[in-house]
Amino acid sequence: MSQDGTAPDKDRALRALQMALLGVIGQVGCLTLVIILVALVAGLWLDNQFQTRPLFTIILVIVSMPITIFLMFRVVLTFAPRIQNLTGKTIGSSEEEQAQVGEHREESSQT
């Protein structure tokens, strides 16, 4: 048992789950930023080339939104099995601890 009374395996699984979630959030955030910035810069460049000031910028930023949403779902779906596996380990260790506490209570009530 650790200082807070939880099993070390559970702490390790919980920490791995937190790191996996942070990784997904970081990837989604960076991906969104990169796609919108590329659309913005490309739109400004095209507007400058064709002297159509806001037209290409607005079109490319609007078109980049569904692309960003689609890629966000792809990133999350890629990590979903790993996160479910880590969640199962965290929940499984909690159920094992509850079963052990229940067995301990039954033993103490029988004596």
Q: What is the DSSP string of 51-107?
A: T-TTHHHHHHHHHHHHHHHHHHHHHHHHHHHHHHHHHHHHHHHHHHHHHHHHHHHHH
For 7-29, write each residue's pLDDT tens digit. 788 888 889 889 999 999 999 99
pLDDT digits (tens, 9 = 90+) for 50-85: 999 899 999 999 999 999 999 999 999 999 998 888
Q: How many CA atoms lie within 13 A of 69 on its CB side?
A: 5
Q: Is the pTM of this model over 0.75?
A: no
Q: Are 53 and 47 in contact (CB under 8 A)?
A: yes
In this model, does residue 39 exceed pLDDT 80?
yes
